[in-house]
Structure 1
Amino acid sequence: MEIFEWGPLLRRWSEEWLDGQAAEDPEEFEELDQDMVRDRWLGFAPATPAQIGALEERIQGLGIEIPLPPSLRSFLETSDGWRHAGGFVYLLAGTETIAPYGDPYGLRRLYEQNLGDDSAESEVLQAGMWGRALQLSLDSDMTDVLLDPGDVGADGEWAVYVYHGWAGEPPGRYDSFRAFMEDMYKEIYSLGGAHDGFENSVTRELDAKVEDARLACLRGELDEALAVFDHAVEFGRPRAGLLTAQLRALLDGGRSWVPVDPRMDDELYAHEVLPLKVHGHLGQHRHDDSFVLGPDNDDYASDRERAAAVLSRIRERVYEYTSPGLFGQRVVEARELARLGDTDGAWRVLLAGVPQWEPYRDDHVAPFGLLGDPLLGPVITPERARQLLTTARAGAGAWCPRHRPKPCETGCAGWSRTTQGLNEGEAASGSSLWRA
């Protein structure tokens, strides 16, 4: 049985949580327990051997003969309880307050009613858990943290279940108390990290790695960049979420959502995100167009009107995806080939133009809006999407565009034919819109 060394994680957790709270909401920070702030410690004193022994005796009195899970025991030897375990649990029990859950809401009977002859072992264990679990959460936002002595691994660890009373969903399961606590450490970032004021050494380091990965992504280092983005997403870094969503959108054929405010004056939204949303909307045969039109209020009225024009053009299969610069010219050529039925030729033209593709802004890493083009979307298979994303693209240096697309007066998310691309002199010289 591995005995986990809790000290470094808990000390780091405490300092990072306090730093983040101080930056995000100084007034609320002033209301925190002053001893906790002074000591920079969310925990308590370590439990003594006598306290742990007393807990074991109480548990044995409940008919539970197995030893305490090793990760919980070593945790209690470091801190006898914990404050702010994630975003919804404000206080975890210590040796003197761990007690039977008691199934106050009759959930065991409810879950057992849903069991059948073909129920999985995990479903049977979960149904019985409600009646035998120990409660670890003392103060929370309607959240129970339950330790199950009937679900024990070969390493001696007991499963931990987290049940949010307001979620209307089955409880989440962790293999051990250690796994639960490691996830709660990440949760303080996934929930708070998107706030502008939430900043500490971890968020700054993650953001620097995300920027390095963005540049690597533009060099075609797809999988390496995705690994960095996905790790940062676990810690709630919003820019990482935007970057990885664009890559996933191409790789999964447009099923991913790209988190951008639905403003038609935002070129990234109008030229890339909206066509992608319409693609998914029509593919799922939705009848309610509000999903792609944006919020139904006066503030978004103009955006909704312009978005409706794009939706109409894509429905009528007359929409044309556009992109600035030399890549935009390749898009026009590829569409004509696709119109004639030469999809392989269209792909070759698109791929040849990828090195000249240019982002609208410094958090734009791929032309995922292609999927919304009625003619070019079907050309981009998952295999071709990966080939596109592993091809080096422009923008890996300093971000400084010399040209911007002109808004379409009819409300569509494209350039007119007369304004698309470079002027003749720039096209002839092959000059780039970007400077490394």
Structure 2
Amino acid sequence: MTIHIPPPGETNYAKRIRTVRSPKGIEAWLIEDHTLPILSVNFGFKGGTSLDPEDRCGAASLLSALLTEGAGALGGAEFQEALADKAIHLSFHTTPDLLAGQIKCLVRHAERTFDLLGSALSQPAFASEAIEQVRARTVAHLRSVSETPDFTAARTFAKLGFAGHVYARPTLGTTESVTAISREDLLALHPRLINRTTLRIAVVGATTPEHLGALLDRAFAKLPAGLNIPLSPTAIGCLGQRHVVQSPAPQSTLVFGRPGILLKDPDFLAAFVVNHCLGGGSTSRLFREVREKRGLCYSIGSVIQTQEGCSTWRGSTSVRNDRVKEALAVIEAEIRHLTQCGIGEDELSAAKGYLIGSYSMALASSAALAGRLLAIQVSDRGRDWLDRRNRGVASVDVADVARAIDRLFGDGALFVVAAGDPKDL
């Protein structure tokens, strides 16, 4: 049976996106939407935890957690009260490539919101008491997860697979490195991490370019200029190796992978479709073969994890210790079957239909749309990406996926990390 997938509906996001330049030179992408009196703002500074000093891993994550713990004339409790008083959502998080923030507020409180954001970014208190509180919380978290198979497998996969590159470093740090971070370390890292040069901003909501321009200056104009430090390219290594981390648990967590296809590569969307067929959800081949047919796990999945310096096809699951070897054999057999037999028209059409429909639904809220706009800016895909993406998925054919399969899986060799007490591995 051939499944007919209608062409994706035409969208006009590129025409709706306006580049706003503030009086003091801060730029942002804006999509006006006056349906509700709300502003959703996503912003990020390129660099993230990759800027951590080698002996101070976790510094960027600690710094980002402190940005709402007092700023300007406000102490930590006062700053939190000021946010709550106007129902302002403000949060920060870090990745190896980015320190990102998100705001959601009522338009009538926009000026106060952007003033508070400006204080958090340009005048963080880094008070000694707050540093010790956040440090203690981070260390407690690291201790609580350090022996868990999930954390151990993921950490070991990055540490060994990206050995010698900043992607090998732990984003939250270690108990030792976090304990060693001083207030002076944070002050030195702050302008390298938070500056106008690496800043990207996306806004969706009930505002105008003129109004937004004034708001941008309130929050970002005082930031210093900085350097855009590109990451050196890399790829996951250790292919063909299996590494076991012993852990006293009834199940083993498996993390497995190999190099992926870069986001701006012409074959990326074809690889994205291939991954959906292989491990992209409850209809995927791995889910069907490993869970449904054999009951070896509760969940299994894979993604193409794209970062500034690399792309990785990465899968994971948790399996009873005495069945790890069997589960790995099934996973590797499915990859071999994929490379030998490819993907047929029906499976391809079903995958494309899901990926097109789910992407449209993922843009339904202003916060989600602002997040996508920021991601597009950070990855430099062009403002027409939201319009091109579904057309690109729809255009993927059998020949495209065959080429992507060959590039993704080649000889099929995986780097596998098992954390637990796997038998006979």
When normalised by structure 1's length, the TM-score is: 0.23
Bigger RCO of structures 1 and 2 (CA < 8 A, at least 6 apart):
2
Higher fraction of strand: 2
When normalised by structure 2's length, the TM-score is: 0.24
